[in-house]
């Protein structure tokens, strides 16, 4: 005769929680742990396909699966591009074939980039560059790979990743559209942000953001996500813990005058985002892109598209110019896992400064101008 299962011993049951409560916890809806971006994509897709279609749930679960909020944001945006494309052609995303995925890759070459205008996203900017199109295709492939891993759909509905075999744009690791600055141009940008910004209420905040992006070698998403609670002190160094690309946390040394600027900015606040609106909300990236671009123009800098990443790009190249530069230190400071990534900045820098074009022009200039 089979024995009835015995009740668990007292030490196996968590203190203050009954066995029934523990089982209830195990049976909660996994969607309760979804981040906001997953829910936003779920709501968007549910409005199109309805609640019974598996697409909204699987797409949102895929977004929730990503490590960082930056990746979730980018993947959700990129997936919407694909979803709109296939829906306009009368196809469900789960019915995408290799040929349609390949056609989508070609479509991206001519698809205008959407920009916000009067509360709506309007296709006005030029098509995405090779790197951005590569990222869109990578996100789409990631979605189908995730769906296949879940085994939530029968093989007769989806049995392969339609983006396997799609030709991605060829990316030259030495090429970048990011425009750099000289040290003198950086100083001019920072002083213009501080002293000549038309909105005096936000001028100092923009100035501190420029300092942090440059001297802490940060991307804009990491800087805007930095919180007051993560400011600290370790073995004689002021520090700031920030979450960088990929969701990894790193500790940044904060130079004294940057620390003083941050303390002046936050005042008596003890929690929340370092860079925030008057209501305490996190600043959005597009507004700070516009602010830095406008400040560069006001400063009379010659770059056409100078933005937040130009500060990180520039500070790395400037670090290589300083006496006693140590590549391994620069790599760690730049948050690059692969030393080849950091070395590209050095090679790009040398490609311009050591260009034979200058010698060729110098030797011919007098003769050409004299004729």
Q: Which of 24-33, 264-273, 331-340 has the highest mean pLDDT?
A: 264-273
CA atoms within 13 A on the CB side of 7: 7
CA-only gyration radius of the chain, Å = 26
Instruction: Report the run of H or E that residue 262 belongs to, with start and end.
Output: helix 256-266
- Tell whether the model's pLDDT for residue 9 goes beyond 70: no
Can you list the domains of the chain with their CATH numbers? 34-150 (no CATH), 183-355 (1.10.443.10)
Query: What average pLDDT does range 303-331 have in this prediction?
Result: 90
CA angle 170, 351, 314 (to 5 degrees): 90
CA 344 to chain CA centroid, Å, is 20
Q: What is the pLDDT of residue 175?
A: 62
DSSP type of residue 227:
B
Q: Give the model confidence (pLDDT) of 150-163 as tens digits.
A: 999 998 889 999 99
The first and second tokens of residue 215, run together, are 């001297």
- Residue keyed to tokens 């937040």: 308
Confidence category of residue 24, pLDDT binned at 50, 70, 90: very low
Query: What average pLDDT does range 190-211 have in this prediction?
Result: 93
State how beta strands 120-127 and 112-117 pair: antiparallel
CA 152 to chain CA centroid, Å, is 30
Q: What is the pLDDT of residue 47?
A: 96
- CA–CA gap between residue 197 and residue 186 (Å, rounded): 15
Query: CB–CB of 334/217 below 8 Å?
Result: yes
- CA–CA gap between residue 164 and residue 223 (Å, rounded): 35
Q: Say how many C-beta atoms besides its own lie within 10 A of residue 250's C-beta.
A: 15
Query: What average pLDDT does range 329-342 have in this prediction?
Result: 88
CA angle 223, 228, 231 (to 5 degrees): 85
- Tell whether the model's pLDDT for residue 191 goes beyond 70: yes
Say which range, 14-23, 161-170, 323-332, 360-369, has the weakest mean pLDDT.
14-23
For the chain, the average pLDDT equals 85
């Amino acid at each position: 005769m089979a024995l009835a299962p015995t009740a668990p011993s007292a030490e196996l049951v968590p203190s203050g929680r009954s066995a029934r409560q523990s089982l209830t916890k195990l049976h909660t809806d996994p969607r309760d742990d979804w981040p906001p971006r997953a829910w936003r994509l779920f709501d968007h897709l549910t409005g199109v396909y309805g609640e019974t279609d598996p697409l909204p749930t699987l797409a949102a679960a895929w977004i929730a699966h990503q490590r960082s909020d930056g990746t979730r944001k980018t993947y959700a945006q990129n997936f919407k591009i694909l979803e709109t494309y296939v829906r306009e052609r009368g196809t469900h995303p789960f019915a995408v074939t290799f040929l349609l995925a390949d056609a989508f890759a070609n479509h991206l070459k001519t698809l205008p980039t959407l920009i916000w205008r009067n509360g709506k996203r309007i296709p006005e900017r030029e098509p995405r560059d090779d790197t951005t199109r590569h990222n869109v295709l990578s996100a789409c492939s990631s979605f189908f790979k995730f769906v296949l891993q879940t085994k939530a759909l029968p093989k007769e509905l989806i049995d392969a990743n339609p983006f396997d075999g799609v030709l991605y744009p060829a990316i030259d690791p030495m090429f970048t559209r990011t425009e750099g600055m000289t040290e003198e141009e950086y100083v001019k940008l920072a002083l213009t942000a501080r002293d000549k910004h038309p909105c005096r209420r936000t001028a100092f905040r923009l100035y501190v953001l420029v300092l942090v992006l440059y001297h802490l070698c940060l991307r804009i998403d990491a800087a805007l996500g930095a919180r007051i609670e993560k400011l600290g002190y370790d073995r004689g160094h002021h520090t700031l813990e920030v979450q960088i690309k990929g969701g990894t946390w790193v500790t940044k040394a904060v130079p004294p005058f940057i620390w003083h600027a941050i303390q002046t900015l936050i005042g008596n606040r003890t929690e929340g985002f370092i860079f925030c609106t008057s209501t305490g909300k996190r600043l959005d990236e597009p507004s700070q892109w516009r602010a830095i671009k406008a400040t560069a123009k006001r400063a009379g800098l010659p770059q056409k598209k100078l933005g937040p990443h130009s500060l990180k790009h520039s500070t790395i190249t400037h670090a290589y110019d300083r006496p006693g530069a140590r590549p391994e230190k620069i790599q760690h400071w730049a948050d690059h896992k692969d030393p080849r990534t950091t070395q590209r900045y050095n090679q790009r820098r040398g490609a311009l400064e050591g260009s034979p074009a200058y010698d060729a022009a110098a030797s011919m200039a007098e003769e050409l101008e004299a004729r």
